[in-house]
Amino acid sequence: MSTPLLITPCAASQLPVDLLLEADPHLPYVQAYLANGHCYIARRDDAVVGVYVLQVRAPAILELMNIAVAPGCQAQGIGTQLLQHALHSARQLGATRLEVATGSFGHQLTFYQRAGLRVYAVEPDYFLQHYPEPLFEQGLQHKDRLRLAIDLN
Domain spans of the chain, in order of start: 6-151
Residue 29 contacts by C-beta under 8 Å, 6 or more apart in sequence? Answer: none
CATH code, 6-151: 3.40.630.30
Say how far apart CA 116 and CA 25 lie, in whole Å: 26
Say how far apart CA 42 and CA 37 lie, in whole Å: 16
| Whole-number pLDDT of residue 22 | 87
Say how far apart CA 129 and CA 150 lie, in whole Å: 27
How confident is the prediction along the chain (153 residues), in pLDDT tens digits per residue?
A: 568 899 999 999 999 999 999 888 888 889 999 989 999 999 999 899 999 999 999 999 999 999 999 999 998 999 999 999 999 999 999 999 999 999 888 888 999 999 999 999 998 888 888 887 888 888 888 899 899 999 998
Say how far apart CA 92 and CA 95 lie, in whole Å: 7
Residue 131 contacts by C-beta under 8 Å, 6 or more apart in sequence? Answer: 25, 26
pTM check: above 0.75: yes
